[in-house]
Amino acid sequence: MTATAEKQKLSPAPDIGDLLFALIIAIPLMGRPTFLFQDGSTGWHLVTGEYILKNHAIPHDDIMCYLDKIPGKADKAWVAYEWLSDTIMAGLVQLGGLNLLAVVCSCAIGLLFLMLYDRCRKEGCHFLIVLVASIFGIIASAVHWLARPHLFTFFGVLIFSGALEDYYRRTISSTKLFLILSLYMLVWVNCHPAFIVGFVLIGIYLVASLCSAAFYGPGTKRKGYLDSAKTFAIALAATFGASLINPNGLVLYQYIEKYLKGSTVLANTEEFMSPVFHLTIHPTCLEALFALFVVGLAISLNRLSFPRLLLCLAFSHLALSAVRNIPLFTIIVLPAIAQLYAKVRLAESYRIPQIVTADDASQIEGTPANLAALSRAEAVDFRPESLESESTPSTLWQQIAGKFEKIGTEFDETERQCKMHLLPILLFVGLSITAMMGGKIAGMPLLESGFDPEDKPTKTLEYLQKAEADGQLKYNQGFNLDNWGGYVKYKLGTPVFIDDRADFYGESYYSQYAIINQVLTFPDGKPGWREWLAKDNIQWVLVQKDSRLAQALKSEDGWKVAAEDPASVLIVHEKPY
């Protein structure tokens, strides 16, 4: 059949991947409209993007904090390494508000799993196994679904790992590999600092190829592995060269290195902590993925390539080290699981023996020549004598395995025609138009995405804005929760005490913040929380209602609650220090 005829047979009906896409976007857009905006740091990304769109320039000095002198910093120099993603986010908000940003981020996550589903199916895995594994992966990775630049890293890991494995199998050329990796690196390096992961992925394939070459003696296999290693080395150099095309050049690497050395701050950041496996759904689904992977290794007749196995092990470690890495592990492990379950020992052991016709037998190498002379109507039974009397499976497992395989085969034939992906396209276009129309259709609200008033300051910000306008309070005399800093700046437009850019503030300043926020005192004369508040002349504090600092200030002489809402409390200082 020609390619044209095959194309004409395509059906507009959705496949499983399309339905997963619809399910995924329904969660943050319809089920939980605040889901993507749980993290207040989305605010400072939007502030940065707005600055770039307004000034047509990338900021090289801080635009968030009001303190001119931060311990350990001679100036307020800041590397906005996510400038491109910040600009895209701010541009979307200008076009359609937070609703449009939510639509694009949701559809991006949906597209990610649609691509993953298609990748898994190409491995030859049964659609039901891919569906179950995908659902586990979706739920596990949802722990880090946020309207933030790290979505570009999700796609980077998918694109890099897929292209590297394809070349390792020789299903794509080295030229295509270089183009895919280099072009995406141009985007990745300007959108998220985890572009470094791309080098790690290439490095694993390079090291695996060298190790494999060392294992074999002189010959064709060794030469093949050495050729692969050479290609991966060139790919590494090419992507590194592409990564230098950013506004900061090599300075970006120095900045990231300095940030990663701030281990104390990172260790106390929630998303950098290990997952807690105590009856919570995301880690439970992560465990399910581990189980599927380990069982697959035990029963599969397919062998993972050495670098793919190393990738799975490396990203298993990352997922157990930090919650934010769970989606990356999901992206790596799902195609590996699909490859393992595409051919398993149990299914092969109980596969129903086939009745071979003369036509079929004539094609089998080693079949006696006179077999072809048999009548076309005759059949040759190659089954063992013990099975000659059995025309149907005799055990429950054989019946289940046979039915399972039959369902998969029939479904495969149907799904091959359902690759137009009209449903995702229509959903994206329709929801985007709705967002740009204010989230309403015929006056009825359909989209209401945004920050959660139960989790972020609302009434306290209204009071603070009015008090600042009236001159009762000054923005540069306040203290705020670090994760709310970007949100407060986004809402009020005024500089804040701190936000959660640990790379900018450094450990010394964060230590000062922690002393105040955790209400710490020291018997050796080291400044405690009261001394730091006085030193910075803090006149108002905006923190969580049930925080230790809020409770301490409520009982402290000279402090008074000015406003509160479900999430926050604003406490002002009424006496001079």
Residue of 338, 335, 333, 332 whose CA lies nearest to 157 = 332
Exposure b/e, 403-430, CB count within 10 A at least 16 = b: eeeeebeeeeeebeebebbebbeebbee
What's the pLDDT score for residue 280?
85
Residue 344, phi then psi, degrees to nearest 5: -115, 155
Q: Is 480 exposed, middle or buried (0-12, 13-18, 19+ CB in 10 A)?
A: buried
pLDDT value for 86: 98
CA neighbor of 66 nearest in space, from 479, 510, 512: 479
Domains of the chain, residue spans: 17-122+420-452, 126-294+304-343, 347-409, 459-573
- For residue range 319-354, list pLDDT tens digits in order: 999 999 999 999 999 999 999 999 987 655 555 444
What b/e sequence results for 72-82 when a residue is b if at least 16 CB atoms lie within 10 Å of its CB, and e otherwise? ebeebebbbbb
Model pLDDT, residue 140: 97
Q: For 433-471, b where at least 16 C-beta lie within 10 A, e where not — what string?
A: ebbeeebeeeeeebbebbbeeebbbbbbbebbbebbeee
Distance of CA 421 to the CA centre of its chain: 22
For tokens 């990304």, what's the residue? 45
Alpha carbon dihedral 181, 182, 184, 186, in 10-degree steps, equals 160
What DSSP letter does each residue of 327-342 carry, written as one string?
A: HHHHHHHHHHHHHHHT
Kindly report, residue by residue over 229-275, the tens digit of the pLDDT.
Answer: 999 999 999 999 999 999 999 999 988 888 777 666 666 677 778 88
| Measured distance CA(99)–CA(239) in Å, rounded | 35
Give the Å distances, CA to CA, from 526 to 516, 521, 531, 534. Answer: 13, 8, 9, 14
Instruction: State residue 30's pLDDT score.
Output: 92
- What is the sign of the dihedral through the CA atoms of 302, 306, 310 and 311? negative
Which residues, given as ranges, of the chain have pLDDT below 70? 1-8, 68-75, 262-268, 346-394
Instruction: Write down the pLDDT at residue 508.
Output: 83
By the 8 A CB rule, do 130 and 138 touch?
no
Predicted pLDDT at 367? 44
Predicted pLDDT at 415: 87
Under 8 Å between Cβ of 102 and 109: no
Token duo for residue 532: 């730091």
Rounded distance between C-alpha atoms, residue 395 and residue 526, angstroms? 77
- Classify 61 as helix, strand or coil: strand
